[in-house]
Chains A and B, each alone.
Chain A
């Protein structure tokens, strides 16, 4: 359907390409002549065609644009992309483009050169995978990953090289004469599973996490082996067979350890450097993301410079730093880093595949030897499976959860080769290896086979074999709590039984981390909010808040959103501490799906306690709720352009921070609320003021805790209630019903009947409870408090369920939310 429309686009693209190519060609020929043409100016030219000046960047930019356009065209039709993976389609697009260029130029002016590939296109992908690597999963399976990466790759290389050599000896390849060493070299470059291809193909298949991390981790970590093997065999080939003795072989083995561990260590050093940097960047939050990219890229280049494994360096850099920089950085910076990395990685991947396709359309590199090519394909496939099975069998004896046979099949099937192999092949020296072109051609065929054919088959095979898929489910607090309990449980049992196990180490690492690493690498404010269960709680609150707001918005009750004049910046009011805490907590999304980014803690709307008060409280409450809801929106939802008063400054993107306005509005509202409640018949004014004062005091006392807006919300509502910090459940649900006019047109007549008993008690208790509760910063409740609380609780509990039954079903959502927010 869209194809016809896009055919026009294709024609446009090709036409544009031809236009670029022809002047380029013309300029190439005439460049020498034209460069001096400026010396004979006959007159002022109003407009001139300065191709020379912009040639290089222009070509790059046009190519990037073309690649992205290819992706656009391909993604237009989801029906096709669900069958054929996008990478395969991109390669085909590359074929077409290559064909056009070939037709225009009769030579392949653009192809994937190793320099461009290894220094510009590959790093973003690796940095991105390192940064987004699921650490816990990665390290739990690290043993299996390492075994497959190291031993598996060596096995693949050795068997492939030897088999091909054997076949040559056996005459299966015609007149070919390549030495054993060259075969081994070829084997080493084609043996490695490629991270780019794995990502591209597995991304649409969504296999279960363990399987994915095994294949993907292997593809990343085997770079260490590949680099070493390639360099070693390259050196051997240069030296010639005669000079290889034990010393050289030992040197080769040592170089493996140096390259692999050196690369990893270097990556970790850069990761730690990144953490320190982000720790200190409070004043330049606007370019914080820049640090991440630059340092990540530098880690890659430095490793490359020191002939260590660059991919390993990048991966470990990302792996080490992700937790700390996510905690340290401003929330916007975290988002920026995430999205820019995705853009760069995706863009690079697109370009790699397109250029792979283009590079194939080149007559000069193609040498065809049926036997060689077919045998290579066969051996790669077969040895991959054999290797996986052989290695997983002893591994399963040591794994908690053994890898099933089906998973192993998919691992074998997922051994995709990609652009890295091609890059290495092109890097070979023609003078040393006569048959370079044959190897390059074979590599290309292998890459195309794995990416296209195996890519197409991957989804059906996965479905047919009923592989366990990735499960995405909502966060639940109980799960998180239970996970934590399990962890502690396992550590305890290990202690009891005297065994030093996996969990022991993990526990030790956690303690170490908490004591030292966090102290060093994280900003003080970020350290406080590291607890995982709490962060889940926070995220769930945010989700609720957003639901609440959207519900209200839909029914038009939160009309203040359209009112631009009410711009309240709560920064000053709530204190810097809290605001730092809030974004940081939301930023900790290492394991969970990213939450909707709205700060939590919308206050429980204060209950109205009598029919007469209803009107006044409604206004006061609504205002309070408005303030808080607006605060939510103001902080994180997309702001209309009017609200951004940008100062034109490159260093400071400030949003409305008018503190005087804040203070004034806040005081106005608080005063209004006080008045409205002073007139209340239940005479709750007295306890309220007490708690209000103590609340203010508490604000000033620096307690080491983060009084995040969750608390503030509770404090404020409690202020009006005069009860202690834990808002009783009853009023909340009642208020929830009353508060939102959209949901409840009239007041529930049952309400007043239920309130008096509870409130009477509240009145009794409030005087005593409020100040003492306020005064306590954090210690757990004493027995006395509990006793005082008990009657309160029980009464609210009973009426609570009663009230819940009464509230109409239409606002079930509402009530859940409200109920969830009581303590």
Chain B
């Protein structure tokens, strides 16, 4: 796994962190202030598991690597974690907590509430959620599937949005 090679550089720091992360009550102060902190932590843990091992940790972090240009494509690998699709998948899963492959209105509403809740009323949040779904929902099922999600964000410049410099 190529991204592991890069991460060995930060091995020490990461190891300390993933030990913390492996504990179920993972708490970093700033993360508690972060509206979606809980979800991100949850995203690190593979489903149904309480502990996190190092490769999984790195695998998640690999989503944030800048998209490499001349990476030799390993045909066997379906898609790289730090490819555009991989990043979008990660973001999608932040919303889709029940892992049914769709972002329902409630899920979107929860995220919105977490991020905006203090300034906006409930009705407005609902409107926003409804409208957001309206915009993205192409097949009219009232929820956003991964493809619709991808399509709605096709103009967003992922390179700027989901990269952490030190992971280069």
Do A and B interact with each other, yes or no? yes
Q: Which of B91-136 contact A (CB under 8 A)?
A: 91, 94-95, 108, 111-113, 115-117, 119-124, 126-128, 130-132, 134-136
- State in angstroms the CA–CA spacing of A400 and B162 once bound together: 10
From A52-60, A294-302, A487-495, give the one contacting chain B: A487-495
- Cβ of A471 < 8 Å from any Cβ of B? yes
Q: Is A498 an interface residue (CB 8 A)?
A: yes
A726 with B123, Cβ < 8 A, contacts A493-B40, A533-B116 known: yes
- Stretch binding the partner chain, chosen from A26-34, A303-311, A473-481, A623-631: A473-481
| Interface membership of chain B positions 48-68, coded 1 if the CB is closer than 8 angstroms to chain A and 0 otherwise | 000000000000010010100
**Which A residues are CB-close (under 8 A) to B122?**
725, 776, 778-781
Can you name the residue of chain B whose Cβ is closest to the Cβ of A533?
B116
A493: B residues at CB distance < 8 A: 40, 61, 64, 164
Q: Are B162 and A486 in contact (CB under 8 A)?
A: yes
Min C-beta distance of B79 to chain A, whole Å: 19
Is the Cβ of A714 less than 8 Å from the Cβ of B91?
A: no
Assess A477 versus B135: contact at CB under 8 Å? Given A400-B163, A497-B14, A499-B166: yes
Q: B76 in the interface, Cβ–Cβ < 8 Å? A: no
User: A162: CB under 8 A from chain B?
Assistant: no
Docked CA distance A494–B135 (Å): 31
A401-B66 CB under 8 A given contacts A495-B34, A726-B123: yes
Q: Which A residues, 706 to 731, have Cβ-Cβ distances below 8 Å to chain B?
A: 707-708, 710-711, 714, 725-726
State how many angstroms separate the Cβ of A481 from the closest Cβ of chain B: 6
A172 CB, nearest partner CB in chain B, Å: 44
B85: A residues at CB distance < 8 A: none
Q: State the majority secondary structure of interface residues on A.
A: helix
Residue from A534, A801, A819, A822 in contact with B120 in the complex, judged by beta carbons closer than 8 Å: A534
Complexed CA–CA distance, A400 and B144 (Å): 30
Contact of A537 among B10, B37, B128, B164 (CB under 8 A): B128
* A residues near B9, Cβ cutoff 8 Å: none
Task: From A481, A501, A804, name the one whose CB has the most chain B CB atoms within 10 angstroms.
Answer: A481
Q: Which of A168-212 contact B (CB under 8 A)?
A: none
Instruction: List residues of chain A with CB within 8 A of the CB of B40.
Output: 489, 492-493, 496
- Assuming the A-B contacts A489-B94, A820-B131, A821-B127, are A534 and B162 also in contact, with contact meaning beta carbons closer than 8 angstroms in the complex? no
Give chain B residues whose Cβ lies under 8 Å from the Cβ of A401. 66, 159-160, 163
Partner of A531, one of B120, B126, B162: B120
A533 with B30: CB separation less than 8 A? no
Across the interface, name the chain A residue whose C-beta is closest to B37: A492
Q: Does B155 contact A (CB under 8 A)?
A: yes
Q: CB distance B165 to A710 under 8 Å?
A: no
How far, in Å, is B130 (CB) from chain A's closest CB? 6
Task: Tell me whether A705 and B121 are in contact in the complex, defined as CB-CB below 8 angstroms, given that A482-B156, A488-B35 are known contacts.
Answer: yes
> How far is B111's CA from A488's CA once the two chains are assembled, in angstroms?
11
List of B residues within 8 angstroms of A573 by Cβ: none
The listed residue (B131, B136, B142, B152) touching A797 by CB distance below 8 A is B142
Once the chains bind, are A485 and B94 in contact (CB under 8 Å)?
yes
Residue numbers in A under 8 Å from B6 (CB-CB): none
B115-A488 in contact (CB<8A): yes
Cβ contact of A534, chosen from B128, B135, B152, cutoff 8 A? B128
The answer to whether the Cβ of A451 comes within 8 Å of any Cβ in the partner chain is no
Q: Are B34 and A494 in contact (CB under 8 A)?
A: no
**Chain A residues within an 8 Å CB radius of B95:** 485
> A591 CB to closest chain B CB, in angstroms?
13
Q: What residues on A are CB-neighbors of B128 within 8 Å?
A: 477, 481, 533-534, 537
Q: Does A502 contact B (CB under 8 A)?
A: yes
- B-facing residues in A758-798 (Cβ within 8 Å): 776-781, 797
Out of A494, A495, A816, A823, which one reaches B123, CB within 8 Å? A823
Q: Please report whether the interface of chain B is mostly helix, strand, loop or mixed according to DSSP.
A: helix
A673 CB–B CB distance under 8 Å: no
Taking a contact as CB atoms under 8 Å apart, the answer to whether B152 and A485 are in contact is no
Q: With A485-B91, A485-B94, A496-B28 in contact, is A780–B34 under 8 Å at CB? A: no
Q: CB-CB < 8 A to A533: which residues of B? A: 112, 115-116, 128
Residue contact A481 to B121, C-beta cutoff 8 Å: no
- Complex: A66 Cα to B75 Cα, angstroms: 67
Bound together, the chains give a CA A41 to CA B17 distance in angstroms of: 98
Across the interface, which residues of B come within 8 angstroms of A400, CB to CB? 66, 159-160, 163, 165
Q: Is B22 an interface residue (CB 8 A)?
A: no
Interface residue A528 (Cβ < 8 Å from any Cβ of B): yes
Task: Given A485-B111, A485-B115, A531-B119, verify A478-B142 contact (CB < 8 Å).
Answer: no
Instruction: Say yes or no for A483: interface residue by CB 8 A criterion.
Output: yes
Question: Given the interface contacts A400-B160, A497-B17, A780-B122, does A489 sit within 8 Å of B127 by beta carbon?
Answer: no
Contacts of A491 in B (CB 8 A): 30, 34
- Do the beta carbons of B123 and A501 come within 8 Å of each other? no
A484 within 8 A of B: yes
Residues of B contacting A707 in the complex (Cβ-Cβ under 8 angstroms):
121
Interface 1/0s, chain A 514-540, versus B by CB < 8 A? 000000000000001011011001001
The closest CB in chain A to the CB of B32 belongs to A495
Of chain A, the residue at the smallest CB distance from B35 is: A488
Task: Flag if B164 contacts A501 (CB, 8 Å).
Answer: yes
Residue among A486, A496, A821 with the highest chain B CB neighbour number at 10 A: A496
A527 to chain B, nearest CB (A): 10
**Nearest B residue (CB) for A475:** B135
* A532 to chain B: closest residue by CB: B116
Contacts of B135 in A (CB 8 A): 476-478
Nearest Cβ on chain B to A475's Cβ, whole angstroms:
10
Contact assessment for B131 and A537 in the assembled complex, using a CB-CB cutoff below 8 Å: yes
A711 and B123 contacting across the interface, CB-CB below 8 Å: yes
In the complex, which of the residues A476, A530, A779 contacts B152, with contact meaning CB atoms closer than 8 Å? A476
Check if B153 is an interface residue, CB within 8 A of chain A: yes
CB-defined A-B contacts under 8 Å, sample of 14 = A140-B160, A401-B66, A481-B115, A489-B40, A492-B30, A496-B28, A496-B41, A497-B10, A497-B164, A530-B119, A531-B120, A537-B128, A801-B142, A819-B130
Can you add 4 more A-B contacts, CB < 8 Å, to A479-B152, A531-B120, A819-B130?
A: A400-B159, A490-B164, A534-B116, A804-B140
6 smallest CB-CB distances across A and B, nearest first, come from A823-B126, A477-B132, A486-B161, A495-B30, A492-B40, A478-B132
Residues of B within 8 A of A (CB): 10, 13-14, 17, 21, 28, 30-31, 34-37, 40-41, 61, 64, 66, 91, 94-95, 108, 111-113, 115-117, 119-124, 126-128, 130-132, 134-136, 140, 142, 144, 149, 152-153, 155-156, 159-166
